[in-house]
Amino acid sequence: MTTITCSPGKLNTHLIWQRIDPPTFEAAKNVAMKQILIGVLSSFLVFSCQNNTRSVENIRIKGSDTEVNVALALAETFMEKEPNVSIAVTGGGSGTGIAALLSGKTHIANASRPMKPEELQSARTSGIHPLAVIFGIDALAVIVHQNNPLDTLTINDLGKIFTGEKSSWAELGGPDKEISLYGRQSNSGTFLYFREEILGADYATSLKQMNGTAQIVEAIGTDPAGIGYVGIGYLSEKGGQLPSNIKVLKISEKAGSPAFSPLVPAAILSRQYPIVRPLYQYVNGAPSGRLLEFLLYSIGAEGQKIVSENGYYPISQEQFSENLRLLNATLTVNGAQ
Amino acid sequence: MKITAQQTDRLAAIVFKTAGWLSVVVLLSIFSMLLFNGAKAFRTISPVDFFFGLNWNPAAYGQPKFGILSLIFSTLLVTLGAMLIAVPLGIGTAAYMAVFAPRRVYRLIKPVIELFAGVPSVAVGFAGITVVAPAIAWVFGLNNGLNALNGAFLLALMSLPTIIIVAEEAIRAVPPTFQEASYALGATPQKTLWHVTLPAAMSGILAAVMLGMGRALGETMTVLMATGNASAFPGGFFDSVRTMTATIAIELGETAQGTAHYYVLFAVGAVLFGISLTINIISEKIARRFRYKI
């Protein structure tokens, strides 16, 4: 969610403003000292996060904000069964997770998109062997404000809306309002998935890049001309209770073909709902020990039950076998699918 | 063994000299780090595209774009807006607190303002999305309020405590004889404040404004959450903006080290550094001109 960076603008103002007129010196010094102290403390925080990743009694998981809640649920139940394992789950976006895996700062990178060619290239040069385990299926829901008269959209129109080719709701049979687009930031796997699969082009420059799914939902709830996309898990996580001020659109393959709602599980399981994607856990090379146990747990029967409880969909039998082949392991523990 | 006064003196001199030089060294190393890494960006990106390009989209589907102008303009727009709101409000509050406020009111206001300085920026950003943005949309009849005005308003709130606290100190530091002389000549309290106290405190007040501006310029989380971050070149306060700080924060975490995108973010940082350095130098010059000149 948050990204810690060194903010040059801030630092230099502290330092320069230590030279200040005598009357204001006291007050300025107090403000400056506090800010410097906070700066120093947070830089310690950053450095202390960067210890090595080899000891696998501690498992670190980082990445996709879409997956962060389900990963947390998996981690919690796994830790209950195995008390001497400690798993830390953080978000930050798929890109952030993959970057962390490439620099050896995390054991598992959660990603809601496959790795990009340049990421694979960078992995090769730094001697990382990324291995993708699919542990759930996600559907993306397209949401608008409650008062929007539209109920269905075709994939084609959806793409045109987000590339900016259609910029008014009037072009889609709605009121004469300029469409306001909401999406995630470029470190989000959802941002990239949507761009590659639905748009096949760049987003309109007017796209508002929000800092998280919750903020997209929050913003569209108050914007009568808004449209955005969110992982289905985020919506159904609240016990199927959608926020009352938003509406989920039905999506159809093309004009004239039937439209399906992502809120109907059967439509997703049968892949009739068109915007579905796999959720990945990337690891470096064939894992062993606790790390392997955790991955097997998350694709096993119990883990898949948790995935479903969190609003996502279980993986298919083929995906399960492919995972096992990749992990170079046969699931002997009870609970194979 | 007894330490003589001279030895203590010498020791103290060394300690303070080290402390002083240390801050210079840290500052220079940060700047050279930014310049060094930033310069590497220009091995692949043309400086013309960087400094004069209107669009920023380094992770584009098609051709990546590295134009910094929209980022600079966004940052300046939001900061300028924040200062337009915060400076009159801040100096007014400071003058009220230093000159007019009854003791009891003062005791109430002062801690509240100091407390406000400690509100985390992520909390301000959240309030921006859920409260201020809908309010702005409602007042101005817009579809949504995730725009430069929202950012300016929130940054004004965040830099107000700094401005008020420092400006109040400056006003209090004006020797009481100045005001007494003014009263003796028959000036009203308002006239005294306007024509004597504020001009006498001007250099300190400018310092307050500059500190506040530094806060607004460098603030990251709030603008990242509340201004929409659209990459389109903003046309005004009602357009969504994407500031330099927010861009660095969003993108630095995901870029692979050693790529042009990675280095260009350092170049953005260096430009931001340059902007605040320039503002600081100019204000130092102005402050010096106002000093001792009443």
What are the domain boundaries of chain A?
1-39, 58-135+278-327, 138-276
In the predicted structure, residue B106 carries a pLDDT above the cut 90: yes
* A326 C-beta neighbours (distance < 10 Å), count: 15
Residue B90 is assigned to a structural domain of this protein: yes
Coil vs helix vs strand at B45: coil
Distance separating alpha carbons of residues B99 and A188, to the nearest angstrom: 52
Provide φ and ψ at A180, rounded to 5°. -105, 125
Q: What is the percent of chain B where pLDDT is above 70? A: 98
User: Mind telling me how many Å the CA of B4 is from chain A's nearest CA?
Assistant: 31
User: Does residue B119 sit in helix, strand or coil?
Assistant: coil
CA dist., res. B214 & res. B83, Å (int): 10
CB atoms within 10 A of CB A168: 14
The dihedral through the CA atoms of A283, A284, A290, A292 has a sign that is: positive
On whether residue B200 sits in a domain, the answer given is yes
Instruction: Determine the Cα–Cα distance for residues B274 and B266; give it in Å rounded to an integer.
Output: 12
Count CB neighbours of A329 within 10 A.
16
**Amino acid letter for position A63:** G
Give the CA angle between residues A68, A70, A75 to the nearest 5°: 90
Structure tokens at B24: 């210079």
Confidence of residue B286 (pLDDT cuts 50, 70, 90): confident
Q: Identify the burial level of A56 via C-beta atoms within 10 angstroms of its C-beta, where 0-12 means exposed, 13-18 middle and 19 or more buried.
A: middle
* Fold of the domain built from segment(s) A138-276: D-Maltodextrin-Binding Protein; domain 2 (3.40.190)
User: Looking at this protein, which amino acid is placed at residue B44?
Assistant: T
Q: Which two tokens stand for residue B139?
A: 């007042």
Does residue A218 sit in helix, strand or coil?
helix
Report CB contact under 8 Å: B245, A31.
no
Whether residue B9 is contained in a domain is answered as: no
Q: Which amino acid is at A1?
A: M
Find all residues with CB under 8 Å of A37, minimum gap 6, and list them.
none
Distances (CA, A) of B259 to A121, A167, B173: 12, 34, 52
Show residues of chain A in contact with B224, CB under 8 Å: 211
- Residue B199 belongs to a domain: yes
How far apart (Å, rounded) are the C-alpha atoms in residues A10 and A39?
9
Tell me the residue range of the domain where B270 lies.
47-290
B61's CB contacts (< 8 A; 6+ apart) are A195, A196, A199, A200, A201, A202
Asked whether residue B198 is domain-assigned, the answer is: yes
Tell me the pTM: 0.75
User: Would B36 be classed as within a structural domain?
Assistant: no
Confidence band of B1 (pLDDT split at 50, 70, 90): low
SS3 content of chain B, % helix, strand, coil (to 5): 75, 0, 25
Intervals of chain A under pLDDT 70 = 1-56, 236-241, 329-337
Q: Given this model, what pLDDT does residue B121 score?
A: 92
The partner residue sitting opposite A202, judged by closest CB among B62, B233, B284, is B62
Backbone angles phi, psi at B286, to 5 degrees: -65, -45
How far is Cα of residue B236 from the mean position of the Cα atoms in its chain? 20
> Could you tell me how far CA B283 lies from the centroid of its own chain?
13
* Mean pLDDT confidence for B261-275: 93
User: Hey, is A60 helix, strand or coil?
Assistant: strand
Chain A residues touching B31 at Cβ < 8 A:
12
Closest B-chain CA to A212: B225
> Which residues of A, range 284-313, sit inside 8 Å of B by Cβ?
none
Closest CB to B251: pick one of A186, A211, A218.
A186
A28 touches chain B (CB under 8 A): yes
Question: Tell me, what amino acid is at A158?
Answer: L
CATH, residue B51: 1.10.3720.10
What tens digit of pLDDT does each residue of B178-192 get? 999 999 999 999 999
> Chain A contacts of B277, Cβ < 8 Å?
12, 16
Candidate from B129, B170, B272 with C-beta closest to A9: B272
pLDDT at B137 over 50: yes
- pLDDT of the residue at A43: 47
What's the sign of the alpha-carbon dihedral B278, B282, B285, B290? Answer: negative
Q: How many whole angstroms separate alpha carbon B103 and alpha carbon B97? A: 9
What mean pLDDT is predicted for residues B270-275? 93
Digit-coded pLDDT (tens) for B2-36: 778 888 999 999 999 999 999 999 999 999 999 99
Confidence (pLDDT) at B292: 55
Tell me whether A9 touches chain B (CB under 8 Å): yes
- B56: in domain: yes
Q: Is residue B177 part of a domain?
A: yes
- Average pLDDT of span B138-150: 91
Q: Which CATH architecture is the domain A58-135+278-327 placed in?
A: 3-Layer(aba) Sandwich (3.40)
Nearest one of B132, B130, B129 to B156, comparing CA atoms: B132
Residue B287 has pLDDT above 80, yes or no: no
SS3 B156: helix
Torsion angles phi and psi, residue A141, rounded to 5: -100, 140
In angstroms, the CA B17 to CA B7 distance is: 15
Interface predicted TM-score (ipTM) of this complex, two decimals: 0.80
Which residues, numbered 151 to 190 in chain A, qualify as contacts with chain B under a Cβ-Cβ cut-off of 8 Å?
177-178, 180, 185-187
Question: How far is the C-alpha of A260 from the C-alpha of A248, rounded, in Å?
Answer: 11
Confidence of residue B213 (pLDDT cuts 50, 70, 90): very high
**Token pair in block for residue A77:** 């139940």
How many domains does chain B fold into?
1
If you average pLDDT over residues B104-133, what whole number do you get? Answer: 92
A136-148 burial, b at 16+ Cβ within 10 Å, e below that, comes to bbbbbbbbbbeeb
